[in-house]
Chains A and B, each alone.
Chain A
Amino acid sequence: MSQETGQPTVTLTIDGMTITVPKDTLVIEAARQAGVMIPHFCYHPKLAPDANCRMCFVEIEKMPRLQTSCSTKVAEGMVVRTTSPTVQQARKSVLEFILANHPLDCPVCDQGGRCDLQDFSHEYTPPVSRFTELKRVFPKEYFSALIETQMNRCVQCLRCVRYCDQVMDVKALAPQGRGTLTEIKSFGHHELDCEFCGGCVQICPVGAITSRLSMYEFRPWMLKRAETICGYCGDGCEITLQTKENRLIEVNSTLGGGRNNADLCARGFFGYHASTHPDRLTTPLVRKDGHLVEVTWEEALETVAAQVGWVKDEYGPEAIGGLISARCTNEDLYLFQKFMRLVLGTNHLDSSVRYGYMNAIEAFRRVQGLHRWTVTFDDVVAADTLMLIGTNVTETNPITGLKIKEAVKQRGARLITLESLKPVRGTISNIATLATHHLELSPDQFGIGVLGLIKAVFEQGLVDSALEQEAPEYVGALRTKIEAITWDRLLAHSTLTPSMFHAAVRTFEQGARSIVVVGQGVLRSPGGYATMVNIHDVLLLLGRLDRPGCGIAALAEENNEQGAIEMGAVPDLLPGALPVSDPEARRAVAASWGQEPPRTPGLTMMEMIERAKTGHLKALFVVGENPLGSLPPSAGVAEALDRVELLVCQELFLTETAQRAHVVLPACSYAEKDGTCINTEGHTQAVRKAIEPLGESRPDWEIFSALSVLLDSPMEYETAKDLTKEIRNMIPASRVLGPAPLPPRPDREVLRRYILGGYRDDLDGRLTPPPVTKTTGTMTLSFAQSLFHSGKFSTKAKGLLKIQSAGVANLNPQDAERLGVRTGDRIEIRNEGGSAITPVRAWERVPEGVVVFPEHFDQDLRQVMSVTVDPRTGVPYCKLARVSVEKV
């Protein structure tokens, strides 16, 4: 027994070294721990042993033949020899057979220089082959745009096939043929059509599967590496940006590194070109005579300083507002809010968390007294039961999706999904197919689904007895409210039955470690905040909110939304997510800043837009945010921006908003700056610079710092590190920069306050199903995230555009048939807001009555959306609309 973990251990001897490892360890892993590398091709720590390459032979005493160390478990007293002459002989023979067919094209192979086969051949084989026969040559059927296979080089270890199945659950690759003529192919005689996670490229030990995006542009020894964090979704995957002469060449990820542990998605693996797109802004622009003209930094900054100083003197600080994107680093976000609060003296600042994630944070703060998850990815993997509500996790947060897949496929967790998906297999994985209980909902029904769960909890008598004793009133109030709603009313427009809800909550309740994962489907559709609080109620009723390993995980869309909250880049929160209205918190902040932040309540994004429309907001700083491109025309952003007297944009590209700006300042992308960011589970990770800033672009924080000097209240920092230090001193929670986050526990005091009265505020509102007005002929249009894009930023990445370059409306095949359209036809989507024509695709996973359109290409279609603002959190809901659809 090992003393630390209490796990049973085994002691064995490898090459004369005695080593103690946990029971059930594989010999190859034990050898690695002893510092002995056993050559292998087919073994990979993430995959189940297959022992097909026969390269990892070792000699084990008392065993008659050589054993494959990748499939042999250690045993007490085992004596393993990895370098005996017999073993060497075996390795030489195995390699000789592999090399009989492997072409000697190392000089033109992208793997050359980091190839396992090359290394082992140098070590174990003679320089000349004994084979004189011709080598096999596979004819190619097609050339792919991104993932290219060169099967002549394949050693048939099947790592790619197993990865695609076991880890990704996509099953896009399969071996075809027999013996040496085995070929890895996709199904069907067409290009690979899959999730494009790049896993097969990364896991291939030779150069048989390579990325076309960087093909032949580099040799491994030329590359410089920067371990940084992916700038797309909230999962915060660690990526290694490989550069050559200040150009981004490719992306890898390290096994055992980061929260993703070498797994990536299409965006991470193929989306890196967005940073160096030729459209990037490289010089500051100032509007002169109606046109944006290139100027020097000095002129641009002085213009901004003079104008904003004038606005502040003339109209007061309340006439200035600011918006920032949650794709910025913590340092940018922190200095932005410090700049707005101290230099300009206003609390009118907001970030893109307002598009949805704020709903989750407000609910967390209200019920749990927290602003981050109480669980980590490790808890998700270790969970017994998982419930997904409106996540569409494969497409929004693919790596969280992998953790869920790992929990379900490899650890036997039971999965309950409340998703707007049909459980059908397709070219990309579908989390609903793994579910024990799948409750299929229309994208506007997630709130109803959660109400159904509460009702089922009461009907099944699963209410936690401790809670019933502690807060009988709370339980009683909920029971009366929910009993007043009949199942008929809840399930009027769905095919679900009450018994499905009963079974789902019963299963969920059986797990000791149960986690609810909530996604954008909930957070971005009307009533998102109320639904989020209701989900807390479900967990409270089941007694699961305050238990270790249990909790609610709300998924962030952008990579640093959690950071935006913690850095205080929202109107009512100071750094550390302390409320602005709390005098104590303001004093604490003032101790570090030397000055107290303003106490006036700040405006949210939508309020700022309203104030600008009426002409009360005179100056607006927009940092990486694009409200004109994100909100529908009916939100009136265009009118608001027209009335603003000073619009300053800090941008990578000349976006719709930046085109209307008075001054545009070129900013750096994540690949060009240092800093930190916080992923959705609350883990602070380092962003590192891979290339020099393009043109004259500067990191956002440097721009704020320069402006503060010109505005006579200097906030000077030499490097981003100085800022990081200041942040760490102010926010204790952001000090964690280790392998895994330390999740907090819910604040019992806040929890008590909630169940003893806090729940009452809006109980009537949130326990009422929204009125459903479904008329025949209309469908629900949902703007959803695509797996291959993230916001508008990724539409600049050439690799991702090769997978998906335009918006296509996805319909259920039955709906398509009803409308008389087929994939490739065009449909008109219309409602009172306007109409647009778009191509259509019949996709089995879309439920009936729903049109799913990727939000990244919504330019023409945005007009059919209307905006409703959440009364409590100010979140604008503009992702769902009722539309009529016709064939064109």
Chain B
Amino acid sequence: MPTTSSPAKKLFDTVLFREIWEAMKVTFRHMFHRPMTFEYPREKRTIPDTHRGALALLRYDDGQERCVGCDLCEAACPSHCIKVISEEDKTRPLQRYAKEFYIDITKCVFCGYCVEACPVNALAMTKLYEYSTPDKRTLLFDKARLYEIGERYLEDGKRYLYAHNQEKEGEESRAYRYQFPVPVQKTPNA
């Protein structure tokens, strides 16, 4: 409000409650406006692809586990919430895999370093954020839980990797990061 108005105008405004009308104008305008809030959980927000939600382990399209148990996510994690126990796959000699994989999501700071460190893009972040629970123990995600999330939110995970330019969309996704050589066994007669 300008303070340097004429006394006549001032008087006129006072008599007519002009300030109240000004305020009511905003109020009435909003009566016809689309509501700004979401009625969570009935209504949900659209989340961008880069969103850092719950972590997931992904599989290749043929169902094979992407994770090779290299422990690099564990090394990259600033809050030490990842624990990988890896060993040699008894059925496929010389192939490394994660026998156990834990993420203590209560400790996780959602920095996404683990996803960046992963040489095979096995880890990704999903748009899942609804896992509050009365039982804190369920927040230690084990390998089964992480793959389950990965299966349910595979599309989210892939979108996250594309958005962060870690994996290319389409056919080449599997070959984009290095595919480790599989030892070839000579047949005895070869």
Contacts and interface: CB of A to CB of B under 8 A. Distances in A.
A221 B76 CA distance: 12
A143 B94 CA distance: 9
B36 interface: no
B69 A216 contact: yes
A108 B180 contact: yes
Contacts of A212: 88
B87 interface: yes
A102 B181 CA distance: 11
Interface string B64-92: 00001111100100000000001110000
Interface stretch (A8-16, A134-142, A196-204, A351-359): A134-142
A416 B29 CA distance: 111
Contact of A140 (B69, B120, B183): B183
A140 B186 contact: yes
Nearest to A143: B93
Nearest to A219: B71
B88 A137 contact: no
Main secondary structure of the interface of A (DSSP, over half): loop
Interface string A94-114: 000000000111011000100
A686 interface: no
B72 A148 contact: no
Contacts of A105: 178, 180-181
A140 B185 contact: yes
A137 B181 CA distance: 8
Given A103-B181, A148-B94, A108 B186 contact: no
Contact of B88 (A138, A139, A216): A216
A150 B183 contact: yes
B70 A104 contact: no
B88 A152 contact: no
A196 B178 CA distance: 34
B119 A141 contact: no
B184 interface: yes
Contacts of B190: 139
Contacts of B70: 107-108, 112, 219
B72 A216 contact: no
A216 B96 contact: yes
Contacts of A143: 93-94
Contact of B119 (A107, A139, A152, A217): A107
A150 B94 contact: yes
Contact of A152 (B96, B178, B181, B185): B181
Contacts of A751: none
A215 interface: yes
A387 B73 CA distance: 57
Given A103-B180, A150-B183, A152-B181, A221 B87 contact: no
A139 B178 contact: no
A436 B96 CA distance: 50
Main secondary structure of the interface of B (DSSP, over half): loop
Given A104-B178, A140-B184, A221 B75 contact: yes
B184 A137 contact: yes
Q: Which of B71, B120, B190 has the most CB of A within 10 A?
A: B71
Interface string B117-151: 00110000000000000000000000000000000
Interface in B161-190: 178, 180-181, 183-186, 190
A139 B186 contact: yes
A737 to B, nearest CB: 37
Interface string A120-148: 00000000000000010111110100001
A856 to B, nearest CB: 28
Contacts of A139: 184-186, 190
B75 A108 contact: no
Contacts of B86: 216-217
B186 A141 contact: yes
A217 to B, nearest CB: 6
Contacts of B185: 139-141
Contacts of A216: 69, 86-88, 96
B123 to A, nearest CB: 13
Interface in A207-223: 212, 215-217, 219, 221-222
A220 to B, nearest CB: 10
A143 B190 CA distance: 17
Given A139-B186, A140-B186, A216-B86, A107 B181 contact: no
A141 B188 CA distance: 8
A216 B68 CA distance: 10
A151 to B, nearest CB: 9
A501 to B, nearest CB: 52
Interface string A433-476: 00000000000000000000000000000000000000000000
Contact of A215 (B72, B75, B88, B178): B88
B93 A107 contact: no
B186 to A, nearest CB: 4
Nearest to A144: B93
Contacts of A150: 94, 183
A140 B186 CA distance: 6
Contacts of A141: 185-186
Contacts of B120: 107
Contacts of B183: 140, 150, 152
B84 to A, nearest CB: 9
Nearest to A153: B181
A138 B70 CA distance: 23
B68 A107 contact: yes
Nearest to A107: B70
Interface string B83-117: 00011100001101000000000000000000000
A107 B88 contact: no
A219 B82 CA distance: 14
Q: Which of A108, A140, A217 has the most CB of B within 10 A?
A: A108
Nearest to B99: A216
A143 B184 CA distance: 11
Nearest to B190: A139
Interface in A269-300: none
Contacts of A104: 178
A103 B178 CA distance: 9
A137 B179 CA distance: 13
Contacts of B75: 219, 221
Interface string A214-239: 01110101100000000000000000
B173 to A, nearest CB: 18
A645 to B, nearest CB: 49
Nearest to A105: B180
A681 B187 CA distance: 51
Contacts of A135: 181
B94 to A, nearest CB: 7
A484 B162 CA distance: 96
Contacts of B71: 219, 222
A498 to B, nearest CB: 54
Contacts of B93: 143
A51 B6 CA distance: 99
Contacts of B88: 212, 215-216
Nearest to A138: B184
Contact of B72 (A107, A138, A140, A152): A107
Contacts of B96: 108, 216
A104 B94 CA distance: 15
Contacts of B180: 103, 105, 107-108
Nearest to B85: A217
B68 to A, nearest CB: 5
Would you list the 6 A-B pairs with minimal beta carbon distance, nearest first?
A107-B70, A139-B186, A108-B96, A107-B119, A139-B184, A216-B96
8 contacts: A105-B178, A107-B119, A108-B180, A140-B186, A150-B94, A152-B183, A215-B88, A217-B86
Interface of B: 68-72, 75, 86-88, 93-94, 96, 119-120, 178, 180-181, 183-186, 190
Given A107-B68, A222-B71, 20 more contacts: A103-B181, A105-B181, A107-B70, A107-B120, A108-B96, A112-B70, A135-B181, A137-B184, A138-B184, A139-B190, A140-B184, A140-B185, A150-B94, A150-B183, A152-B181, A212-B88, A215-B87, A216-B69, A217-B87, A219-B71
